[in-house]
């Protein structure tokens, strides 16, 4: 059986369908150097598998070593990319220049001494090499210059930190896996980074109700493998699962790939949390009951508040039982209209087993095929205009499969589907998902990426991509993909470098266009720094004003994630 895992790895590598984790960027170094979790999940078996190569031929052994080297290289590469000047002017593409608020103090040695007295000494990080990645966001678009990162291990420690920072007027940025895409998770200036990654324990799991209670620093993928062993699944899944933390997911109200099947975090009847407010008060809003109607349901304030109202320290979440039968089809369509029709029909014919409906255009496909190692075109040799992934999840594999096949045959005959493949095993499932999940990573290789995550009426959605393409011309690449099942478009525009002229062509056009069509300027990534001044495109002045009042009430000194979420002209420090 050990050998089986080794084959699995070799196999996976040879077919190279997927890097060893969906997001190797930060999972990799850790899991190679330590074993973060039990030995579930492909990465965690690495050590075991590697020792069992004795039955391999010399050539295979060498290949395996090569694989290992590639992985190690990547790690170095990623560290390397962080090596750039930290003295950049604080001017972020995609947002107006921001100035550091004079109301915040600067860190002094007494502060450090205090933090060392309440935390373990090695959880008070001042080492520039360790601060560098925490100061840089996933897209390398935002760069802070924090001199201090704190890694609390308990809610009490978080509470002490907050109380102290509040009294000292020290600004804080709560950080999770730092995979956020709107510049919310990195400091803008010298805010203290508070990362709960050390709070990564699973507190309880109730098999009868399916309610999981865990600390906020648990990595999504680790929760997934824990639940997998128990026969349950996490109600959310995203490409960043190897790095992002459940606290970050809740704080950004992350949606993701399987929203069709499972509920939005706001609708998850048992999502609850424990959070620490700006003055250090611990608020227990953990839900372990499915029904609870007692007063204001304040946990909703924290879901999606992007660290601006408190630090989430624990999370409870209702998890559905795992349904073993997953089927996945990767299909080609000639135009966007066909994709829409396909969704309409899939909803009717596949109904309750339809668990994901994603689309990508030919430009996204090109990017993945050219920029990601080992990805292969499932429908060679042509590149079609549009691709759709349809996933069904149910309890009866053959029955669901039959139903999907019949559905697909009919639509292929009618010409709505041009071509398609249906995954025959889990490896193929991962290879097809890898294409969709790998798009953000593939686009990064073009240089700068301007990302817009929009909710738009389904029929209008792709018009924006066409319009942007016409507007921007060559050599800028305009790519459209997203969660069609949720009317959620990811409009991504890439150019070799971030460039003001290109930006001026994109913004405010994209926001105005979205607003005109009554869409949302942030379907799921949030507001962060990137869109703080754009909130009015999607929310009325009265609503924004109420948000500001709530923020002032809960964080009078404005220390929590300043410059983010709310328009700068209204923030507490102005």
Partner 1 sequence: MKIMVAIKRVVDYAVKIRVKPDKSGVETKNVKMSMNPFCEIALEEALRIKEAGLASEVVAVSMGSAQCVDTLRTSLAMGADRAIHVESMSDRLYPLNVAKLLKALVDVENPGLLILGKQAIDDDCNQTGQMVAGLLKWPQGTFASKVVLDKEKQTATVDREVDGGIETLSLDLPAIITTDLRLNQPRYATLPNIMKAKSKPIKKVTPEELNVQIRSDLDVVEVSEPPKRKAGVILSSVDELIGKLKNEARVI
Ligand X SMILES: Cc1cc2nc3c(=O)[nH]c(=O)nc-3n(C[C@H](O)[C@H](O)[C@H](O)COP(=O)(O)OP(=O)(O)OC[C@H]3O[C@@H](n4cnc5c(N)ncnc54)[C@H](O)[C@@H]3O)c2cc1C
Contact residues toward ligand X (CB under 6 A) are: 23, 138, 173-181, 184-185, 196, 216, 238-240, 244-245, 247-249, 251-252, 254-257, 306-307, 311-312, 440, 524-525, 528, 561
Give the per-residue SS3 of 502-515: HHHHHCCHHHHHHH
Per-residue contact flags (x/-) with partner 1 for residues 118 to 137, judged by CB under 8 A: ----x---------------
Among 117, 126, 281, 324, binds partner 1 (CB under 8 A): 324
Q: CB 215 → partner 1: shortest distance, Å?
A: 17
**2 near partner 1, rule: CB under 8 A:** yes
E strands of 25-171, at which residues?
Answer: 124-125, 149-150
Q: CB 277 → ligand X: shortest distance, Å?
A: 11
94 sits in the region (left: phi over 0; alpha: psi -120 to 50; else beta) called left
**Closer residue to partner 1 (CB): 119 or 259:** 119
Distance of CA 275 to the CA centre of its chain: 21
Whole-Å CA distances, 466 to 39, 361, 474, 491, 523: 46, 11, 13, 10, 20
Q: CB 35 → ligand X: shortest distance, Å?
A: 21
Q: Which one of partner 1, ligand X, none is in contact with 244 (Cβ closer than 5 to 8 A by kind)?
A: ligand X
Q: Which one of partner 1, ligand X, none is in contact with 560 (Cβ closer than 5 to 8 A by kind)?
A: none
**3 near partner 1, rule: CB under 8 A:** yes
Q: 58-81 vs 2-15: helix axis angle to the nearest 10?
A: 60
Whole-Å CA distances, 261 to 256, 265, 437, 491, 543: 11, 12, 18, 24, 31
The span from the CA of 420 to the CA of 428, in Å, is 13
**Closer residue to ligand X (CB): 176 or 287:** 176
Whether 251 and 231 have beta carbons less than 8 Å apart is answered as no
**378 near partner 1, rule: CB under 8 A:** yes
For CA atoms 207, 211, 216, 222, the dihedral sign is positive
364 sits in the region (left: phi over 0; alpha: psi -120 to 50; else beta) called alpha
Q: CB 436 → partner 1: shortest distance, Å?
A: 16
Per-residue contact flags (x/-) with partner 1 for residues 467 to 506, judged by CB under 8 A: ----------------------------------------
Q: CB 570 → ligand X: shortest distance, Å?
A: 18
Whether 433 and 368 have beta carbons less than 8 Å apart is answered as no
**294 near partner 1, rule: CB under 8 A:** no
Listed residue (388, 375, 376) closest to 419, CA to CA: 388
**Closer residue to partner 1 (CB): 79 or 281:** 79
Q: CB 535 → ligand X: shortest distance, Å?
A: 15
Q: CB 380 → partner 1: shortest distance, Å?
A: 10
**1 near partner 1, rule: CB under 8 A:** yes
The span from the CA of 265 to the CA of 247, in Å, is 12
Q: CB 388 → ligand X: shortest distance, Å?
A: 17
Q: CB 151 → partner 1: shortest distance, Å?
A: 11
The span from the CA of 384 to the CA of 250, in Å, is 37
The span from the CA of 66 to the CA of 376, in Å, is 21
**Closer residue to ligand X (CB): 420 or 440:** 440
Structure tokens at 403: 């139903």
Stretch 14-73 residues interacting with partner 1 (CB under 8 A): 14-15, 33-36, 38-40, 42, 47-48, 57-60
Q: Which one of partner 1, ligand X, none is in contact with 184 (Cβ closer than 5 to 8 A by kind)?
A: ligand X
Whether 471 and 509 have beta carbons less than 8 Å apart is answered as yes
Strands 311-318 and 211-215: antiparallel
Whether 309 and 551 have beta carbons less than 8 Å apart is answered as yes
Q: Which one of partner 1, ligand X, none is in contact with 426 (Cβ closer than 5 to 8 A by kind)?
A: partner 1
E strands of 114-183, at which residues?
Answer: 124-125, 149-150, 172-175
518 sits in the region (left: phi over 0; alpha: psi -120 to 50; else beta) called left
Q: CB 219 → ligand X: shortest distance, Å?
A: 8
**379 near partner 1, rule: CB under 8 A:** yes
Listed residue (207, 227, 230, 210) closest to 219, CA to CA: 227
Whether 341 and 418 have beta carbons less than 8 Å apart is answered as no
**Closer residue to partner 1 (CB): 38 or 281:** 38
**209 near partner 1, rule: CB under 8 A:** no
**Closer residue to ligand X (CB): 19 or 420:** 19
Stretch 213-252 residues interacting with partner 1 (CB under 8 A): 228-229
**Closer residue to partner 1 (CB): 328 or 523:** 328
Binding footprint of partner 1 on the chain (CB under 8 A):
1-4, 7-8, 10-11, 14-15, 33-36, 38-40, 42, 47-48, 57-60, 122, 228-229, 324, 329, 331, 376, 378-379, 397-398, 405, 408-409, 412, 417, 419-428, 430
């Amino acid at each position: 059986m050990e050998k089986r895992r080794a084959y699995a790895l070799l196999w996976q590598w040879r077919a190279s369908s997927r890097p060893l984790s969906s997001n190797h960027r930060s999972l990799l170094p850790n899991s190679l150097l330590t074993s973060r979790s039990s030995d579930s999940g492909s990465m965690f078996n690495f050590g075991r598998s590697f020792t069992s190569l004795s039955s391999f031929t010399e050539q295979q052994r060498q290949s395996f070593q090569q694989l290992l080297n590639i992985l190690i290289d990547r790690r170095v590469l990623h560290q390397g990319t962080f090596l750039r000047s930290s003295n950049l002017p604080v001017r972020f593409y995609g947002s107006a220049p921001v100035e550091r608020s004079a109301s915040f103090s600067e860190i002094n040695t007494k502060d450090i001494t205090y933090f060392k007295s309440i935390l373990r000494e090695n959880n008070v990080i001042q080492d520039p090499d360790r601060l560098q990645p925490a100061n840089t966001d996933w897209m390398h678009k935002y760069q802070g210059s924090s001199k201090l990162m704190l890694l609390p291990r308990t809610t009490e420690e978080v509470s002490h930190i907050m109380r102290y920072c509040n009294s000292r007027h020290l600004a804080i940025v709560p950080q999770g896996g730092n995979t956020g895409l709107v510049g919310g998770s990195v400091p803008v200036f010298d805010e203290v980074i508070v990362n709960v990654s050390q709070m990564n324990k699973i507190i309880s799991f109730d098999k009868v109700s399916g309610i999981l209670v865990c600390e906020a620093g648990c990595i999504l993928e680790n929760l997934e493998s824990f639940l997998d062993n128990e026969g349950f699944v996490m109600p959310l899944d995203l490409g960043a699962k190897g790095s992002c933390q459940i606290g970050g997911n809740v704080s950004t109200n992350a949606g993701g790939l399987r929203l069709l099947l499972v509920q939005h975090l706001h609708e998850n009847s048992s999502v609850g949390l424990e959070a620490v407010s700006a003055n250090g008060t611990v608020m227990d809003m953990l839900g372990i009951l499915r029904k609870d109607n007692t007063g204001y349901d304040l946990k909703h304030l924290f879901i999606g508040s992007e660290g601006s109202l408190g630090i989430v320290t624990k999370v409870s979440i209702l998890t559905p039982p795992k349904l073993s039968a997953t089927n996945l089809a990767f299909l080609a369509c000639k135009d966007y209209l066909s994709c829409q029709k396909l969704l309409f029909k899939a909803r009717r014919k596949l109904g309750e087993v339809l668990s994901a409906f994603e689309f990508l255009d030919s430009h996204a496909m090109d990017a993945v095929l050219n920029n990601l190692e080992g990805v292969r075109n499932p429908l060679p040799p042509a590149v079609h205009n549009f691709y759709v992934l349809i996933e069904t999840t149910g309890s009866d594999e053959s029955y669901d499969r039959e139903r999907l096949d019949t559905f697909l045959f009919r639509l292929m005959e009618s010409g709505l589907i041009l071509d398609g493949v249906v995954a025959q095993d889990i490896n193929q499932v991962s290879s097809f998902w890898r294409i969709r999940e790998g798009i953000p990573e593939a686009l990064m290789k073009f240089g700068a990426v301007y990302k817009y995550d929009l909710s738009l009426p389904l029929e209008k959605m792709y018009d924006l991509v066409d319009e942007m393409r016409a507007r921007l011309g060559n050599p800028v690449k305009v790519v459209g993909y997203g969660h069609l099942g949720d009317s959620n478009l990811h409009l991504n525009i890439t150019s070799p470098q971030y460039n003001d002229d290109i930006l001026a062509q994109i913004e405010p056009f994209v926001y105005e266009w979205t607003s005109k069509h009554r869409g949302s300027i942030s379907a799921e990534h949030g507001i962060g720094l990137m869109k703080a001044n754009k909130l009015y495109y999607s929310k009325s002045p009265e609503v924004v004003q109420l948000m500001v009042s709530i923020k002032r009430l809960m964080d009078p000194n404005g220390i929590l994630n300043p410059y983010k979420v709310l328009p700068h002209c209204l923030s507490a420090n102005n």
